[in-house]
Structure 1
Amino acid sequence: MTESVWGSVHDDMTALLSGHPDDVPAVVDQLTKLQDVLERVPPLLASNPLADFNRLYLKITTSVLERLYAGRFADPAFLARLDVEFAARYFDALRQFGDGSTCCPRAWGVLLRRVAGPDCRPLPSAAAGVNAHINFDLPFALVTTFDHLGSDPIDDSDQHRDYLQINEIFAENIPGLRRGYLERWQLLIDTMNGDLDDWWQGELIEYTRDVAWRNAQKLWAVRHDLAGLAQERDRLDQNAASLGRLLLSPLGAFLQ
């Protein structure tokens, strides 16, 4: 399983995923190194769908780091911890899939099984990664972060307002990121649509992240109930996996 997934870059990938970054600069550094490795994974190389997602994730995380340096967050310790916990789940999924572990979430498996081909279109691939990371990973990352900091996921708190700032980062970056995945004929259609595509995709990210916050509140309420927590985990994983399959289906090509 390992060799069939990462091929000739198996050793590089294993070394890169052997530990977790402990701050946001380290997350950016690890994502940067991961991009280099992913673009060498055979047979698709830079065209593999995971590289398409990682490129987007790196851009967004770099923007988060810039805001942290600029003092834009009311509770930077919360945002930094959330960023680290969030990234850890992504890196864990890659390691688990490469090891052939049954612990790899189904939400990620949908995309990771496409790394060896057949090729996927870039924008649906990136969207499938965003789906797995936000709809499945993010609620659990929020719970772990709040538990670590000894606070609660309360609406309209400083933490919640900081969380909502990430929607602004997506809105700022979506136009450039999305057009970077388009072919020439698609760029022509995109120009004819004006700002419409950017607007609805920004609205979709905002809605999806709000759902993740609500799901984190549900998880928080059952965090000490192992059976209830497992049930919620299975529900979120199954829902994200189903959406991921849809995004990577021929229907997903309409995203472009």
Structure 2
Amino acid sequence: MAQLERFAEFTGPAQGVDGVVTRMRALGADLPSGDGVGVFNGVYLSVTEEVDRHLDRGRFADSGAAITLDVLFAERYLRAVDAAAGHHRAPACWRPLLQFRRHPGVRPLQFALAGINAHIGHDLPLAVVDTCRTLGCEPADVEDEFDRVGDILVSLEERIREDLMPGPDLFQIADPLTHLVGSWSLERARDGAWAAARALWALRGLPAVAEELRTRLDGAAGLVGRMLLTPLPD
């Protein structure tokens, strides 16, 4: 955990998307090759840099809402890393990745998908609610920004799989990795995140019920993450 402990020096409120990118680069530079957190961090850094490019090109209808959503979304991942660095308990959705990040039987693509699953399945709906509270708006007001960020993720997913999947000679129908990664869908996870965000927002006047839903989202994402990180034979 020493690398994550050193990263704690970089923590604190990120200043816009550039601040998030800076923190992710610092974390990535400090983690060894093959580390599960580092694998996901590299994937997420690519996504965040792509979001930043879209912002620079004016491809978001409401850039302020997009920046707010992107930063609050990223902060949830970075806080999970901070928790691990400080030997505190991270959210359940992140624990499998943090626990198995050095397991020799887990392949890089599994680390990437487990991190994406945690971030989409739990962090994203909460980030939508955080954004609405920050901006004083409704989920429908940030739906375009949500969809645009989701489209960027989907567009990069195929490249991520190609970059992290073993060579064609190993990519066979009978390969357990083929079966495992085919069992999880980013688009379905994104749809679920949007439905969960709307439900959490509707329940904001019932904090105990909303917290129960959030806890169950966290636990469910953690369970899926643990399955995605099933060690596989060479």
Specify the TM-score bucket, using the shorter chain as the normaliser. Answer: 0.7 to 0.9
Per-residue deviation, 1:168: 2.5
> Structure 2 residue aligned with 1:221, among 202, 208, 211?
202
Per-residue deviation, 1:116: 4.2
Q: Do the aligned partners of residues 10 and 205 (structure 1) sit closer, same or farther apart at CA in structure 2, a change above 3 Å counting?
A: closer
Code of the residue aligned with 1:184 in structure 2: it is: G
CA contact (8 A) 1:53 1:125 kept: yes
Unpaired runs of 5+ in structure 1? 1-5, 40-45, 191-196
Per-residue deviation, 1:134: 0.5
> Structure 2 residue aligned with 1:178, among 161, 164, 167?
161
**Equivalent-residue separation in structure 2 for 1:182 and 1:101 (angstroms):** 32
Q: Do the aligned partners of residues 243 and 24 (structure 1) sit closer, same or farther apart at CA in structure 2, a change above 3 Å counting?
A: same
Per-residue deviation, 1:78: 0.8
Scaled by the length of structure 1, what TM-score is found? 0.81
Matches within 5 A, 1:196-215: 204-215=185-196
> Structure 2 residue aligned with 1:22, among 15, 19, 23?
15
CA contact (8 A) 1:131 1:243 kept: yes
Q: Which residue in the other structure is 1:134 paired with?
A: 120
More deviation in 82-91 or 107-116? 107-116
CA contact (8 A) 1:179 1:187 kept: no
> Structure 2 residue aligned with 1:234, among 215, 224, 228?
215
**Equivalent-residue separation in structure 1 for 2:169 and 2:39 (angstroms):** 17
Moved over 6 A (4+): none
CA contact (8 A) 1:97 1:109 kept: no
Per-residue deviation, 1:208: 1.2
**Equivalent-residue separation in structure 2 for 1:167 and 1:145 (angstroms):** 16
Q: Do the aligned partners of residues 205 and 186 (structure 1) sit closer, same or farther apart at CA in structure 2, a change above 3 Å counting?
A: farther
More helix by share: 1
Per-residue deviation, 1:75: 1.0
Per-residue deviation, 1:32: 1.3
Q: Which residue in the other structure is 2:63 paired with?
A: 76
* Counterpart check, 1:99 vs 2:86: yes
> Structure 2 residue aligned with 1:168, among 147, 151, 155?
151
CA contact (8 A) 1:108 1:132 kept: yes
CA contact (8 A) 1:63 1:169 kept: yes
Per-residue deviation, 1:172: 2.6
Scaled by the length of structure 2, what TM-score is found? 0.88
Code of the residue aligned with 2:110 in structure 1: it is: P
**Equivalent-residue separation in structure 2 for 1:175 and 1:22 (angstroms):** 30
**Equivalent-residue separation in structure 1 for 2:203 and 2:16 (angstroms):** 28
RCO comparison, higher one (Cα < 8 Å, 6+):
2
Q: Which residue in the other structure is 2:7 paired with?
A: 13
Unpaired runs of 5+ in structure 2? none
Per-residue deviation, 1:152: 0.3
Q: Do the aligned partners of residues 80 and 247 (structure 1) sit closer, same or farther apart at CA in structure 2, a change above 3 Å counting?
A: same
More deviation in 21-30 or 176-185? 176-185
Number of residue pairs matched? 226
**Equivalent-residue separation in structure 2 for 1:243 and 1:88 (angstroms):** 22
Q: Which residue in the other structure is 1:244 paired with?
A: 225
Q: Do the aligned partners of residues 180 and 148 (structure 1) sit closer, same or farther apart at CA in structure 2, a change above 3 Å counting?
A: same
Q: Do the aligned partners of residues 119 and 187 (structure 1) sit closer, same or farther apart at CA in structure 2, a change above 3 Å counting?
A: closer
More deviation in 205-214 or 109-118? 109-118
**Equivalent-residue separation in structure 2 for 1:60 and 1:66 (angstroms):** 10
Identity of aligned residues (%): 33
CA contact (8 A) 2:109 2:164 kept: yes
* Counterpart check, 1:113 vs 2:96: no
**Equivalent-residue separation in structure 1 for 2:25 and 2:154 (angstroms):** 22
Per-residue deviation, 1:52: 1.1
Note the alpha carbon deviations across 1:43-80, whole angstroms, 9 max, x for none: xxx11111111111011111100000000111111110
